[in-house]
Structure 1
Amino acid sequence: MKSMVIGGIILVIALMAGTYFAAGDAFIGDDYINSLTMLGAIAIIVITVFTALKYINQMKNDTASGELKDENWDGIGEYQNNVPTGWALAFIGTIIWMFWYFTMGYPINGFSQIGQWNEETLEYNAKFEKKWENPSLETLEAMGQSTYLVQCAPCHGIDAEGIEGKAHNFTKRISKEQVIHVINNGANNLKTAYPGGMPAGMAFGPDVDAIAEYVAGGFKGEQPAAYGVCAGCHGMDGKGMAYVGPNIREYDDALVMAVLKDGKKGNIGMMPSFDGRLNETQEKALAAYLRSLGE
């Protein structure tokens, strides 16, 4: 046993030296949390080593004793021994230490760089939201232009005319070919805002050209009788109905936000979803800027 104690002392010293060598510079200074951490490490090393030595010695020298329980499994039974005093005290002490650590030992409510960063971020976000809570149309258009140049220009071009016809031209709200494509093929992309979608083949023959020309022309001139089918969802004025049909007259907020969320597939190609990339104010600003392009 004496040799085991000597060996344990040497092991404790070696482990403490290794701990200090690996992280000793972290414990230099006035931060008492680091000092407590070092003391905790020393305590764990000492307790672990000598507890292990105690039970190793006990396994080598002790013999089982006490009164056997009546139950046994294949002739193997248990003694009715009490919980070891040291183990019970260590268990209770650990629970007490846990409550101390979470209430007094570790300053949960103390200063934290991460906490400070979170507070400053929340404060800035609140300030930003308040500042832009009711922006003017001019401010929205300016903000929308900045958002457009970063998020949309790579496909639609800086001048918003589309790049080589592979993206929608925002200076010409909608073309006759696009209207014909939607009439013949339907449109079921905007599931979130307009869950019903639009079925294909709403009009055929010469009615297709008449409706497409009327809608693409900005609802000017005599309204074709066949447009009455479209008005059931988009309204006689083409400004749409909430959750039924989108605005086909201008880029209103609801339409732009729906396209940004769900993406859009048309006769030119597929626009991916931008869900989560812009906040609500940026989406409204983008819609305002797109409307300004048509003007």
Structure 2
Amino acid sequence: MKSMVIGGIILIVALMAGTYFVAGDAFNSDDYINSLTMLGAVAIITITVFVALKYINQMKNDTASGDLAEEKWDGIGEYKNPIPTGWGLAFIGTIVWLFWYWTIGYPTNGFSQIGQWNEETIEFNKKFESKWENPSIDTLTAMGESVFLVQCSPCHGVDAEGINGKAQNLTKRISQTSVEYVIKNGANNFKTVYPGGMPPMMLTDEKDIKDVSSYVAGGFKGEQPAAFGVCAGCHGADGKGMAYVAPNIRNYTTDLISAVLENGKKGAIGQMPAFKGRLNATQEKAVAAYIKSLGE
């Protein structure tokens, strides 16, 4: 037992030293709350360690006593000892506290700052959607610019030209490298809009891949490569896409931009996170209107 007590003391000292090493600078201020918190931590750790030592020692040295019940299961008997008084009182007290907490202490229908914030947010969103239910294209573009500067510019830049090549330049068409990446790796993260997705390696010949990617990135100018016929089956001969089948790869569209915002996108230059839940439908349309205006 003596060695266990010594070990327990060493454990307490180690835990407190670790706590002070991590958060010791907080106790140099004049805020006595931090000191009280540290004192509480000392008390909790000390009580926990010594209670654990007590019961470990009891399990090692105590022997069972009392009257055995007549019933046995697989040769294992059971004593008819009453439950420990402290355990029984703690169990009943927990049940009493539970009902007190549900009814008086903190009823589920009581005031909550989080609940108030949620209610106000829902009410504001309803007013927002009602006010901007049918905005003009100019209003959408102006709104989209504001949303873009807050949500998108940290990666795409305030001028939408990307930052150090780590995000798509939205003022130009998609690059040939990005088109090649999609051809080779597919694109299946827009299933809410295009359920079928695009499987990888629809084209396998390296020359066909380069010819098609150059044609698409170049704005569909010049002679159309024969290999583009594979793409035309879903995107159309003009590249303007088909509803629920494949997106427009000729120009940015509201559906495509909304799908990217909601689902994110993995491409040749990295991973764009999903913005689902952070923008409502009107804001998504506004961002789309602004991005389309950049190309114009």
Fold agreement, TM-score > 0.5: yes
Query: 2:283 is matched by which residue type in structure 1?
Result: Q
Q: Residue 186 in 1 paired to residue 186 in 2? A: yes
Query: 2:161 is matched by which residue type in structure 1?
Result: E
Query: 2:130 is matched by which residue type in structure 1?
Result: K
**Cα distance in 2 between the residues matched to 1:175 and 1:159:** 18
Instruction: Give the direction of change, closer, same or farther, for the CA distance of 1:135–1:229 in structure 2 (3 Å limit).
Output: same
Query: 1:156 is matched by which residue type in structure 2?
Result: H
**Cα distance in 2 between the residues matched to 1:272 and 1:116:** 29
TM-score, normalised by the number of residues in structure 1:
0.57
**Cα distance in 2 between the residues matched to 1:240 and 1:163:** 29
Query: 2:178 is matched by which residue type in structure 1?
Result: Q
| Runs of 4 or more consecutive aligned structure 1 residues displaced over 2 Å after TM superposition | 115-131
Percent identity reads: 70
Query: 1:278 is matched by which residue type in structure 2?
Result: L
Match of 1:266 in 2: 267
Query: 1:228 is matched by which residue type in structure 2?
Result: G
Number of aligned residue pairs: 185
Instruction: Give the direction of change, closer, same or farther, for the CA distance of 1:226–1:149 in structure 2 (3 Å limit).
Output: same
Give deviations 1:145-184, integer Å, cap 9, x for gaps: 0010010001111111111111111111201111111112
**Cα distance in 2 between the residues matched to 1:187 and 1:139:** 32
Match of 2:163 in 1: 163
Q: Residue 139 in 1 paired to residue 145 in 2? A: no
Match of 1:237 in 2: 238
**Cα distance in 1 between the residues matched to 2:239 and 2:286:** 22
Query: 1:256 is matched by which residue type in structure 2?
Result: I
Q: Residue 149 in 1 paired to residue 143 in 2? A: no
Larger radius of gyration: 1
Instruction: Give the direction of change, closer, same or farther, for the CA distance of 1:292–1:189 in structure 2 (3 Å limit).
Output: same
Q: Residue 216 in 1 paired to residue 222 in 2? A: no
Deviation at 1:117, TM superposition (A): 9.7
Instruction: Give the direction of change, closer, same or farther, for the CA distance of 1:118–1:279 in structure 2 (3 Å limit).
Output: closer
Deviation at 1:207, TM superposition (A): 1.5
SS of residue matched to 1:143: helix
**Cα distance in 1 between the residues matched to 2:135 and 2:283:** 11
Q: Which blocks of at least 5 consecutive residues in structure 1 are unaligned? A: 1-114
**Cα distance in 2 between the residues matched to 1:195 and 1:179:** 20
Q: Which blocks of at least 5 consecutive residues in structure 2 are unaligned? A: 1-114
Query: 1:232 is matched by which residue type in structure 2?
Result: G
SS of residue matched to 1:209: helix
- Mapping of 1:1-295 within 5 angstroms? 125-203=125-203, 204-295=205-296
